[in-house]
Structure 1
């Protein structure tokens, strides 16, 4: 499990199934919290894609249980 808090400029969170397939793009704004359980981490890839233009400062803080990688 991982919990991610996004602070600052809004960005897009991209999710796609491991091994290919149609993905999803979700807006991620200031103060948003995303929680992904173990099965989500095993079956989906996630990323904050680079943008062609500057969008402003952003910090992403991740919380994981001890011993989980």
Structure 2
């Protein structure tokens, strides 16, 4: 998954404004206690981060 695809899915799920805020503030245990932004900066793949988001959020199956 490309990073642009990841952010497109985040915006489609959370909304244009909230996606970036959520990515900055919400800590995900599966990502070692990192936020989305931290995990991506630390080298986690976009696909791995998206899967972690999908595990804790009720993401539309079309976006999974």
Larger RCO (alpha carbons 8 Å, 6+ apart): 1
As a proportion of its length, which structure holds more strand?
A: 1
Q: Larger Cα Rg: Structure 1 or Structure 2?
A: 1
As a proportion of its length, which structure holds more helix?
A: 2
TM-score, normalised to structure 2, is 0.27
